[in-house]
Amino acid sequence: MSTPSYSLEEIADALGGRLIGNGKLRVSSLVHPANVSGPEDLALAMEPGLLSLVKKSKAAAAVVAGKEEDSAFIPARILVERPRVAMAKLTALFAKPVEVKPGIHPTAVVEEGAKIGKNPSIGAFAYVGARALIGDNAVLHPQCYIGEDACIGNDALIHAGAKIGAGTRIGDRAIVHFNASIGADGFSYVTPQVGSVEAAKAGSGGTVTASNASLIRIASLAPVILGDDVEIGANTSIDRGTVASTRVGNGTKIDNQVQIGHNVTIGDNCMICGRVGIAGSAVIGNRVVLGGAVGVADHVTVGDDAIAMAMSGIAGNVPPKTIVGGLPAAPREKMMENLFNLGRLKQLFKKVETLVEKMDRFEKNSISQQT
């Protein structure tokens, strides 16, 4: 796999940045200023604290932010306004995706009735089930599994080890990373009589008043539907629905090790961070951000543009454009007030102890005076 090489002019055009210095200089790698080893390295110094490292390095070129005069000592540089956006564009330029050769590998299995679009790339030992539909330019890496009647959109990318269940529909340009599971059965069971959880929800005074003598499985009949431009992280699991589909909207990005339960609906352009768990039938609005290890209870609704801080436990509905945190999750101002008050408890206890001691002495003095 060849290493990409670009002139500073080409990079500046791609970033929409302002080039100062020799635009013909070519670079072939992006590096931290502390790791510059030669003139072909492009130092990323978009944070003010990194400029001092560029001075000590052998960097001939850098990408910087801020005022032009702050980086005047760098011979060739590209000034950008939005460092994170610049980082996204730069890494896209220099990325080296693992290639799958065009065509269908001889060891791949494509079952009868499956339809393969134009220009496919299907790797070794991949499996495509009966009546599945693979879109144009789709890339299936080795050892991925596409179940029967599944639909993979145009330009989609399915990485090695991913399992796409029967009937699952994945939109155009979607990316599914290593060992993700899309379309397994939901975790849904019922007991013949009222079980422990049902009794607890009905109000049992804090004690367990019923038991689960046996568990009856509820089958999952509805598929998972992923929109266009969705990205699913490694080892993430999205369960199929019971009778209503589990849905993920266009442009939503889901991190590694996320669990999404049956019948969940997630809107467009959401960011779901690592180790989030969303229980069955929850509704997540558009552009919602769930920080790492957030838990969302079943049948809860999280409104559009809401943000949940890391490790929040969402047990009730969250209004749109609200920032929540804590366990149970509360509006950020209330959560910070609660944390502040917790920090004051030690001081409060000392004051109470001092007050009790004074009251004890007062009572003893009163008794002695009476006698």
Angstrom distance (rounded) from CA 123 to CA 103:
8
The CA–CA distances, whole Å, from 46 to 76, 102, 131, 191, 271 equal: 14, 38, 50, 58, 24
The residue written with tokens 């005076």 in the block is 369
Residue 78 lies in a domain: yes
Residues 162 and 116 in one domain: yes
Whole-number pLDDT of residue 302? 98
Domain boundary among the residues 94, 117, 139 is at 94
Q: Could you tell me which residues come within 8 angstroms of residue 271 by beta carbon, excluding any fewer than 6 positions away?
A: 252, 253, 288, 289, 290
Angstrom distance (rounded) from CA 223 to CA 240:
5
DSSP code for 80: E
Are 289 and 308 in contact, with CB atoms under 8 Å apart? yes
Predicted confidence (pLDDT) per residue in 276-299, tens digit:
999 999 999 999 999 999 999 999
Residue 222 lies in a domain: no
Whole-number pLDDT of residue 178? 98
Whole-number pLDDT of residue 206? 76
CATH number at residue 131: 2.160.10.10
Rg of the chain over CA atoms, in angstroms?
Answer: 29
Whole-number pLDDT of residue 49? 87
Helix (H/G/I), strand (E/B), else coil: 287: coil
Whole-number pLDDT of residue 354? 87
Angstrom distance (rounded) from CA 238 to CA 231:
12
What is the number of domains present in the chain? 2
DSSP code for 186: P
Angstrom distance (rounded) from CA 163 to CA 143:
9
Residues 43 and 12 in one domain: yes
Domain boundary among the residues 75, 94, 113 is at 94
The amino acid sitting at 224 is V
- What tokens does 131 get? 């009546």
Query: Would you write out the chain's pLDDT as a tens digit for each of its 371 residues?
Result: 567 899 999 999 999 999 999 999 999 999 999 999 998 999 999 998 899 999 888 889 999 999 999 999 999 999 999 999 999 999 999 998 888 999 999 999 999 999 999 999 999 999 999 999 999 999 999 999 999 999 999 999 999 999 999 999 999 999 999 999 999 999 999 999 998 888 888 876 778 888 898 999 999 999 999 999 999 999 999 999 999 999 999 999 999 999 999 999 999 999 999 999 999 999 999 999 999 999 999 999 999 999 999 999 999 999 999 999 998 999 888 888 877 777 788 888 888 888 888 888 877 777 777 76
Angstrom distance (rounded) from CA 53 to CA 74:
11
Count CB atoms within 10 A of the CB of residue 30.
17
Going by DSSP bridges, is the β-strand pair 224-226/216-217 parallel, antiparallel, or unpaired? unpaired
Residue 267 lies in a domain: no
CATH number at residue 52: 3.40.1390.10
- What tokens does 363 get? 């009572």
Residue 141 lies in a domain: yes
Residue 280 lies in a domain: no
At residue 289, φ and ψ (nearest 5 deg) are: -120, 120
Whole-number pLDDT of residue 339? 75
Residue 29's domain comprises: 6-94
Whole-number pLDDT of residue 280? 97
Angstrom distance (rounded) from CA 234 to CA 40:
33
H/E element holding 64?
Answer: strand 61-65
Predicted confidence (pLDDT) per residue in 48-82, tens digit:
889 999 988 888 999 999 999 999 999 999 999 99
Residue 269 lies in a domain: no
How far, in whole angstroms, is CA 234 from its chain's centroid?
A: 10
Q: Could you tell me which residues come within 8 angstroms of residue 112 by beta carbon, excluding any fewer than 6 positions away?
A: 130
Q: Respond yes or no: is residue 262 known to be catalytic.
A: yes
Q: What is the pTM of this model?
A: 0.88
Instruction: Please tell me which residue in 141, 159, 177, 262 is annotated as part of the active site.
Output: 262
Closest to 182 in 3D by CA, of 120, 233, 129, 132: 233
Domain boundary among the residues 163, 179, 195 is at 179
Residue 152 lies in a domain: yes
- What tokens does 301 get? 């609704």
